[in-house]
Structure 1
């Protein structure tokens, strides 16, 4: 018969062995739950802030700490106003969450930035980032790269860009595109799972776009092929319809203004480069206003017509450079990305990454002198308040963008018709041989 002391000792020993079976620093099921539902303890609040509040030049100081520096500048200068909406859950697809659980703690960082091993699918590092962890920024970057932006495959079909003079409001140029996205590997939902085969080049992801209008750019096409090995440079190809030839882009050309816009290829989706191209630093967690909303509840634009009656997000403010949307107070990770290449045209990006969705929705871009150059907004609609094809997908829908050059007083705005539809994205679209097919 054991004594009371022996029973207590045995219980402590059992508990100790159980604890020892979980590696130090390993993510737990509770970490997964908190990562995908950061609001399980309630939504964030800010003194004096409630849905319906309009933040403008007159009251912006009161709410300065609830917005990033670039958005504060825009409101303070009277360029735009912000309407606060209720914070809501953007619950991601169960397939991605389940993949995270199944593959918990398999992903490991390599010795060099850009090296990872053991990753299968889902969110590789779901544990809460800590500023004391010197590689926390790198882990956040991997969570973004292997995130669920557009899911396994989706299209923006069509996609309007407008180049605007911020001082006069003149729309200098309107481009109409189709954009396509496909994950070759780490797929979780749409067949084929887990990867597209054959894939002899070991590609991770492809982006393909074609210009539909205006006539002088019609049939211009861009193909970006990102390799599974992050240390390999992306392949990028441009087909210019008027030249009728495909040319491979030099690595540096991804940081040029794309087709004369205020955006570079490296800016696509918030950041469209390699992990190894940047030095990543986690700058902390904040609750700030983010461009998350329900598309169908906004006052939408009437100037662009779609056969199915779909309406695009409208723009207003100074020069028509700012989306007419509502903003949610959300949990955000602040991440600094400094280019490794000293010849890079920017000194750093400050990325504001939504803690639940892990997409980049507010970016501040600084010039070589360290001064604020551009601010970048990517608006997100809840999929259940968008097109019928997106309902129930668990994919937060990219729905509007605005890149504002605060130095040149110029902007490029984007209006999306995003569709999570595998049929629009056959793997053949993402091959170099496809680029001449539009002639």
Structure 2
């Protein structure tokens, strides 16, 4: 009995030490400070009152509000603390990771956030460190997206030209924190830190198309994955497709689908400082949802409104934000630059901008993240910000593509075999 009490005291002491380290890692949110400088909950930012709040909105995005094309509903700041296992791993291994001599690899990285603590403008590697943190932000060890409803919209006519339905699943093979096995899956022949599988369910001419993408541990490796095309009855290497071509006739670039997935080695990364900004992070149980109910779950999808229905109808809250700029190293690249607004607590990017043709603004990318405790019961206490709505707005073609997403994290039915290339419908016929 004494031994058990001693063990409990030891675990408590370790927990307190880890909590102290977690605070220094930046996972705590000073909500009192944010409340002081935030618009009041319930405020609706419109063209009329925008001048009062313009300093909290991206300058380019504010033009949508100024033009009457969008409004921003404000809610109180809310902590999106990651799962305790991720926090503990950061406390244990934080400061251990190093940017290696070989491009595309981190040395001595095990788990948690690779580079915790505040970034410094005088650190030449701060931009790349922020990019690595964004890449390995905690979003769960696996994910099931049983419904992804796409709408291809015309900005001028305000009509939906096409609707499609997809489903997807994802898994981390490395740097795992919650689902056994931890910290990695032993059988990982692709040497991938994660994988993502997407399938078209009801998508017109794209029906039956499947994409299997492996996220390389080594960022210097070429894109790795396969696409099954039912019309051809075969599976082709993902390398035969351009990452600068839109997905399924939409406005979405493959590298900007839900998260930024392009190779970090393809860009020069600059940290532009920290600020406070309104971002679409919200409670799912506090918004007016759409009439679209999930087929097999007690879940209603996010609605879209504003011009052409291009903007997620969720609340925005004030967040501490890291500004990250990535500039293409290849002068021939279609995308010349991206500017990310990275949430400083979760290290996900709910909002970023894409530039082309000599730094001409091209697209806005918006991902609305719901707090896990306001979502389905399965996701409660998961510590993972949940993508529920996504929009890419192309200001050069006057179009947008919106997604309504049902997300479940740390799902037992998602298994490594789901990402076996032999499981694709075109198995045995690759080229």
Q: Same fold (TM over 0.5)?
A: yes
Per-residue deviation, 1:242: 2.1
**8 Å CA contact retained: 2:174, 2:193:** yes
Matched-pair contact (CA < 8 Å) for 1:291–1:327: yes
Q: Where do 1:321-400 residues align within 5 Å?
A: 321-400=310-389
Is 1:83 aligned to 2:60, yes or no?
A: no
Deviation at 1:423, TM superposition (A): 2.5
Q: Does 1:301 find its partner at 2:285?
A: no
Structure 1 segment 402-413 matched on structure 2, within 5 A: 402-413=391-402
1:52 to 42, 50, 70: 42
Deviations 1:49-96 (A, max 9, x none): 211111111111221110112321211121100011100111110011
Q: Deviations over 1:375-428 (max 9, x none)?
A: 111000000111111011111111111111112110000101101142242111
**Residue from 118, 138, 143 that aligns with 1:148:** 138
1:232 aligns with 2:221: yes
Q: Output the aligned Cα RMSD.
A: 1.9
After TM superposition, where is structure 1 displaced by more than 6 Å over at least 4 residues in a row?
A: none
> Does the Cα contact within 8 Å between 2:210 and 2:424 map onto a contact in 1?
yes
Say whether 1:178 aligns with 2:167: yes
Structure-2 residue corresponding to 1:101 = 91
Q: Which runs of 5+ in 2 are unaligned?
A: 1-17
Q: C-alpha displacement at 1:339, in angstroms?
A: 1.5
Q: Which residue of 2 aligns with 1:64?
A: 54
Q: Distance in 2 between matches of 1:80 and 1:364?
A: 17
The equivalent position to 1:201 in structure 2, one of 164, 171, 190, is: 190
Give the TM-score normalised by structure 2. Answer: 0.91
* Structure 1 residues 345 and 90, CA gap change in structure 2 (3 angstroms): same
Q: Contact 1:180–1:208 (CA<8 Å) still a contact in 2? A: yes
2:120 to 116, 124, 130: 130
TM-score w.r.t. structure 1 length? 0.89
Match for residue 116 of structure 1 among 97, 102, 106: 106
Distance in 2, Cα, partners of 1:311 & 1:196: 34
Q: Which whole-Å CA distance do the structure 2 matches of 1:56 and 1:388 have between them? A: 34
* Structure 1 match to 2:305: 316
Give the C-alpha shift of residue 42 in structure 1: 2.8
> SS at the partner of 1:65?
helix
Separation in 1, partners of 2:225, 2:33: 42
CA distances 1:180-239 after superposition (whole Å, capped 9, x unpaired): 111111111101111112113321110111010124221100111122122112212111
Unaligned runs of 5+ in 1: 1-27
Take 1:200 and 1:112, find their aligned partners in 2: how far apart are those partners? Answer: 21
* Cα distance, 1:48–1:228 mapped onto 2, change above 3 Å: closer
Q: Please show how residues 212-251 of structure 1 align to structure 2 within 5 Å.
A: 212-250=201-239
* Structure 2 residue aligned with 1:270: 259
Residues 36 and 357 in structure 1, CA contact (< 8 A), matched pair in contact too: no
1:280 to 269, 280, 287: 269
**1:41, 1:218 → 2: CA distance?**
46
Separation (CA, whole Å) in 1 of partners of 2:159 and 2:289: 20
In 2, Cα distance between equivalents of 1:304 and 1:386: 14
Shift of 1:46: 6.6
1:115 CA displacement: 3.0
Q: Any idea what the Cα deviations from partners look like across 1:239-276, whole Å, max 9, x if unmatched?
A: 11222110112276122101111111111233112221
